[in-house]
Copies of this chain bind each other. A is one copy, B any other.
Amino acid sequence: MKIAVMGAGAVGCYYGAKLAQHGHDVVLIGRPAHVREINKNGLLFESGGVRTTVGLAASIDPVAVAGADIVLFCVKSTDTASAGAAIAPHLGDNAVVMSLQNGVDNAERLSAIIGRLVVPAVVYVAVGMAGAGHVTHFGRGELVIGPDDASDVIAQTMRPAGIPVDISENAQGALWAKMILNCAYNALSAVSRLPYGELAKGDGVMTVIENVVAECLAVAGGLGIVVPGDVGAAVAGIIKTMPAQYSSTAQDLMRGKPSEIDYLNGYIVRKGGELGVATPANQVLYTMVKLLEMQADQPSKG
């Protein structure tokens, strides 16, 4: 099977590597530094303390999606529109396109751009880039997708490669459950530059998180989304399972990159506005992160 991965960040590299290790013909499409390193030395894949080198193709050119049976779309939410437009002219007629992204509306946005169905996947994996062409896997790796036409092909390709795939009637609810955790923690960690464990000790933090989650659930309810599982328990679990972790939003801001906040708390605020559901706590978190993005462009004052 030919598989193209659009976006060679940690998620794209991880799934690309798993599929390549199983013998699929994989090409990663990413930024020059990664692509150069991968084409020179292969992708360095680290998991459970074991390092292996995975041979796969890499390109900076979106035309590399041509001929792919499955396209894993793994760019940041901020890049969905531009990356979607870049691959659109090169997609084969029968290519199955999956979105493996944060937020809940990337598949819908991408679908509008490329003019075909996009399968949204909920991604549960802890991975990071340790350097150019070097991905580290810390744990998990399963995907949840909905019962679309292409779901069986996806599952039958992924499962033998060691990627658990759950086909769920409520994949959209699972995407929401994941986004709500991001709404609860990402901005707080970003603004305070504290990891989750330290963050949780802050005065009023758990009240803020309760308010944020309640607003998110109210918006979800207004949209007819049923959020599965015990969100409260999931929220509490983050502090215990990842006390030393900084949110991706925090990492983006520390690196001076735009964050995905428009697709997390910003999405809740926009949908709340459309529905007439009040979202004051999400509004403050969203606005704070946008201000920090502005502040990153200012000379230091402190």
Q: Does A153 interact with chain B (Cβ within 8 Å)?
A: no
Give A residues with C-beta under 8 Å from B. Answer: 188, 191-194, 198-199, 201-205, 207-208, 211, 215, 246, 253-254, 269, 280-281, 283-288, 290-292, 294-295, 298, 301-302
Q: Assess whether A198 is in contact with B254, with CB atoms less than 8 Å apart.
A: no
A284 to B191, CA, bound (A): 11
| Known contacts A199-B291, A208-B283, A281-B283; 7 further A-B pairs (Cβ under 8 A) | A198-B294, A202-B287, A203-B287, A204-B269, A205-B287, A205-B291, A254-B301
A204 to B272, CA, bound (A): 14
- A-B pairs, 3 with minimum CB distance: A192-B291, A204-B287, A284-B284
Closest Cβ of chain B to A193, distance in Å, is: 5
Closest Cβ of chain B to A200, distance in Å, is: 11
Q: Which of B192, B193, B204, B294 contacts A192 (CB 8 A)?
A: B294
Q: Which residues of B contact A194 (CB under 8 A)?
A: 291, 294-295, 298
Q: Assess whether B192 is in contact with A280, with CB atoms less than 8 Å apart.
A: no
Q: Assess whether A191 is in contact with B291, with CB atoms less than 8 Å apart.
A: yes
A205 to B289, CA, bound (A): 11
Q: Assess whether A208 is in contact with B287, with CB atoms less than 8 Å apart.
A: yes
Q: Assess whether B291 is in contact with A202, with CB atoms less than 8 Å apart.
A: yes
Q: Which residues of B contact A208 (CB under 8 A)?
A: 280, 283-284, 287
A207 to B246, CA, bound (A): 28
Q: Assess whether B211 is in contact with A286, with CB atoms less than 8 Å apart.
A: no
Q: Which of B202, B286, B290, B295 contacts A294 (CB 8 A)?
A: B202
A191 to B193, CA, bound (A): 11
A253 to B301, CA, bound (A): 11
Q: Which of B211, B287, B291, B302 contacts A254 (CB 8 A)?
A: B302
Q: Which residues of B contact A193 (CB under 8 A)?
A: 295, 298, 301-302
Closest Cβ of chain B to A249, distance in Å, is: 13
Q: Which residues of B contact A284 (CB under 8 A)?
A: 208, 211, 280-281, 284-285, 288
Q: Assess whether B298 is in contact with A198, with CB atoms less than 8 Å apart.
A: yes
Q: Which residues of B contact A202 (CB under 8 A)?
A: 287, 290-291, 294
Q: Which residues of B contact A192 (CB under 8 A)?
A: 288, 291-292, 294-295
Closest Cβ of chain B to A265, distance in Å, is: 10
A208 to B290, CA, bound (A): 12
A254 to B300, CA, bound (A): 11
Q: Assess whether A211 is in contact with B280, with CB atoms less than 8 Å apart.
A: yes
Can you give 17 contacting A-B residue pairs, CB < 8 Å?
Answer: A191-B191, A192-B294, A193-B301, A193-B302, A202-B290, A202-B291, A203-B286, A204-B269, A205-B291, A207-B283, A208-B283, A211-B280, A246-B301, A253-B302, A280-B284, A281-B281, A281-B284
